[in-house]
Amino acid sequence: MTASASSRSEPLPSREARLACRAGQITGPTANIANGYVQGNLAILPERLAAAFHRFCQLNPKPCPVIGMSEVGDPRIASLGLDLDIRTDLPRYRVWRHGELVEERTDIMAHWRDDLVAFVIGCSFSFEEALMADGLGIRHIEEGRNVPMYRTNRACVPAGPFAGPMVVSMRPFTPAGAIRAIQITTRFPSVHGAPVHFGDPSQIGIADIARPDYGDAVSIAPGEVPVFWACGVTPQSVILESKPEFAITHAPGAMLVTDRRNSELAIQ
């Protein structure tokens, strides 16, 4: 049976979560899976583009905080997990050619090459544990949906061939809850940190909040305001604009679960 964040009653330890992905048992969003462990977005590029992409991430630390990077051609990233294989241990991958999404897969063994470099980018799922511990509800988890994500009118700082708009994720809160969420997430700069906007979506180029570009729409109750965080799906909007000859990413919401603990990332 295919499992997802909405169908599992108990969170998985990090290695068990990766093994479940490897076995094809988890193929959907990873929010609320392996609570307590850092999750990461994925971008894989040929070595000849890796330095420019790394520079792009350095220039855009809010949407693209790098928490791990492989050696050329090596599918392992030991700093992020024992027995971690970047080719099999995410629920779902996207394969891109010349900026076009050509395939989604549950593993990328057939596409792995000796010249590829994998980047793991911090994910806002990692700070959701702290929000929930403070009593703040996370709407996409409550509703069993993928987090809503939107392309914005905020341009990233370009580097080499890489340029494009920032993507944001959204969670609704009451005004008091939004203030508390800002205070909490400010302590987690390596997984996007404080929000980049709250309130009127049109100010950041979102025409219809009920129609996210990635993920699923969630309900916003009367009196709540949408709060937007920079999102690690940004490299996918950049791939659309920059059109590299080959790239692999995670499917939005389907993250790599690492062995690092969320508590390691918090600034006291």
pLDDT digits (tens, 9 = 90+) for 83-97: 899 999 999 999 999
User: pLDDT band at residue 1, thresholds of 50, 70 and 90?
Assistant: very low
pLDDT, average across residues 241-265: 95
Specify the pLDDT at position 116: 98
Listed residue (118, 132, 124) closest to 167, CA to CA: 124
Distances (CA, A) of 215 to 76, 154, 219: 28, 20, 13
pTM, rounded to two decimals: 0.91
User: pLDDT band at residue 6, thresholds of 50, 70 and 90?
Assistant: very low
pLDDT digits (tens, 9 = 90+) for 10-42: 445 899 999 999 999 999 999 989 989 999 999
How far, in Å, CA of 81 to CA of 62, rounded? 24
Q: Which amino acid is at 198?
A: F
Listed residue (78, 39, 73) closest to 252, CA to CA: 39
Alpha-carbon torsion 257, 210, 57, 70, what sign?
Answer: positive
User: pLDDT band at residue 267, thresholds of 50, 70 and 90?
Assistant: confident
User: pLDDT band at residue 82, thresholds of 50, 70 and 90?
Assistant: confident
How far, in Å, CA of 180 to CA of 268, rounded? 16
CB 229 within 8 A of CB 215: no
Listed residue (76, 74, 56, 81) closest to 66, CA to CA: 56
Q: What residue ranges define each of the domains in the chain, with the CATH number in brackets? A: 14-122+241-259 (3.40.1640.10), 125-230 (3.30.2040.10)
Residue 66 has pLDDT above 50, yes or no: yes
Specify the pLDDT at position 13: 85
DSSP 8-state class, residue 14: H
Q: What is the residue-averaged pLDDT of the chain?
A: 94
pLDDT digits (tens, 9 = 90+) for 151-206: 999 999 999 999 999 999 999 999 999 999 999 999 999 999 999 999 999 999 99
